[in-house]
Amino acid sequence: MLRRAWKPIAASIVVAGPVYYLYTTRDQTFELLVRVKGPDGKKGTVMKTIPLLPMKAIDSRLRESGIAETNDRPYGVTWHHTTSSLPSNDPIEDAHSHQIIQSDDGKSDLLFFSVFDGHGGRNTSQLLSRTLINAVALQLSQLAANTTASLTSTKSFTDGLWALWSKSSSSSHLAAWDVPSISSAIENAFVEFDRVLLDAPISILKQAVQEGNLTAKDPVPDLSSNATGMQTMQAAISGSCALMALFDTAQKDLYIACTGDSRAVAGVWRPAEDGRGTWEVDVLSEDQTARNPREVERIRSEHPVDEANNVVMNGRILGGLEPSRAFGDARYKWPLAMQELLNQVFMVGSGTAMRKPPKTFKTPPYVTARPVVTHRKLSSEDASSLRFVVLATDGLWDVLTPEEVVSLVGGHLAGLKGTIPKTTVSSLVPTSIANAGVDGKAGKQLTRPTKQGSWTFVDDNLSTHLIRNAVGGGDELELRKLMSIPAGMSRSYRDDITVTVVWWEEGKGSQAGSVTAKAKL
């Protein structure tokens, strides 16, 4: 049984029980430095007194969004996954989705898991959570059927994008597929999805022009009251990173598609002769930001030489956007004249103008939705084996390293309980770096104590477990402070966080079935 293989030697476990601090009435508040804008428009900071939430309220907030699902598949594998989110923005701009597509013969699955990190609003991330998996499945089904039609020539895909989430897709046998073809199909699905996303408001404008009676006095229509038009416009001008994992159980392959700076990390179990073994950390994606030298080189190569000093400034695209790849973000993609026209048509009448592009905007697009797709085998010829994958938006990686995350998941799967010093956990759950990936967050991480302090193992839900430890872990006062900061203020101290953890056990599934557990408050 896999759990037994992961369990540390019992005699070496030294676990302290949870520590609960008592606070007097005076201790129920804390001081926080908050950014404010004065009457003259100048920005400054003031000290505000913030009430501390009780632990009961904090536990409820941490656990309220958690879900856990177990699926016993007929081919002998039991799949587990958990997902949990913690908002900082109000409403949260993160989103997530998952789907299992069974093969026609019932002997294999395609399992999709995705997390989306929205910015500038939640419109794009919410749309992606409802549609992107089906868009990828559609592209893969065309590949499986060996059709010559592509998404660029499939009018029904464009027309049906906004209702695609309600439709189901099927998959064919995967034996004839090869890794480059599947990777290319995923890439194309991402790119085409973004093209349709950006074209949607333009198409609605064209239709309105063809149907309307425009005059010289009103050369363009006012579509600010067009609900569908405004929906497509909001999805185009806000933005979102996307991270998708695709498990192909027929070929025992894992594909990770990353657009933006969310991150996927795998835990690979490497057993040892003494029975303890080590968790190897395999970073499956690379942060696509303007802090990543590879991305900076790529972006500069796509624009004229005279823009070399402007395309990336202060670690951001044109000095504004941090991720170098994203869906939406039309102000970095549409030509300037198109932005001005669509702003006049959709936004002016609603009283909310579209943000103008940066002053150095010249040769769009500066941002792409094309993902980097990586591939791993789920089983290997040596004794090591991939056992779990963590998908998380950058709010988690701002404060936890991949090695810490693998250690926290490995310890949880091994059955650790209570509040444990970080140094003790590192000895109980030894880790090593197999692949560190490319860190595009250098210099961005929020300051948190990493070597000192303690981790806590009090949540059944693995995703909630990671979020709790990112926000304070065993330091109850730190946890209470960060969780007590109201939305609006909290964004300066922590980001939205969404985490999905997927793990599996072989030799346990006999009959197909699933169990879904909601959060326990």
| Number of domains the chain is built from | 1
User: Which token pair is 285?
Assistant: 């994606």
Query: 373 with 183: CB under 8 angstroms?
Result: yes
Phi and psi dihedrals of 30, rounded to 5? -145, 160
What is the Cα–Cα distance from 496 to 214, expressed in whole angstroms?
45
The pLDDT, as a whole number, for residue 513 is 58
The full 3-state SS of 430-463, as one line of letters, equals: CEEEEECCCCCCCCCCCCCCCCCCEEEECCCCHH
**∠311-312-316 over CA atoms, to 5°?**
125
The residue among 16, 52, 61 whose CA lies nearest residue 464 is: 61
CA dihedral of 477, 480, 484, 489, whole degrees rounded to 10: 60
DSSP-assigned beta bridge partners for residue 263: 392
The pLDDT, as a whole number, for residue 504 is 95
Q: Residues 6 or more apart from 138 whose CB is under 8 A from it?
A: 151, 157, 164, 169, 189
Query: How much is the average pLDDT of 453-461?
Result: 97
Provide the CATH number for the domain around residue 66. 3.60.40.10
pLDDT band at 327 (very low <50, low <70, confident <90, very high): very high
pLDDT band at 68 (very low <50, low <70, confident <90, very high): very high
Q: Which helix (H) or strand (E) holds 479?
A: helix 476-484
What confidence tens digit (pLDDT) does each residue in 411-447 have? Answer: 999 999 999 999 999 899 999 999 888 888 765 555 4
What confidence tens digit (pLDDT) does each residue in 160-190 have? Answer: 433 433 343 444 444 446 899 999 999 999 9
Q: Which residue is it, tokens 């549409």?
A: 334
The pLDDT, as a whole number, for residue 133 is 97
What confidence tens digit (pLDDT) does each residue in 353-408 have? Answer: 999 999 999 999 999 999 999 999 988 666 578 999 999 999 999 999 999 999 99
Structural domain of residue 402, as residue ranges? Answer: 2-518
- Identify which of 10-14, 22-26, 248-252, 380-384 has the greatest average pLDDT: 248-252
Query: How much is the average pLDDT of 37-42?
Result: 81
DSSP H helical segments within 103-226, as ranges? 123-144, 155-160, 179-211
What is the Cα–Cα distance from 491 to 470, expressed in whole angstroms?
15
* Terminal C-alpha separation, the chain: 30
Q: Which residue is it, tokens 């499986």?
A: 144
- Identify which of 150-159, 270-279, 504-513 has the greatest average pLDDT: 270-279
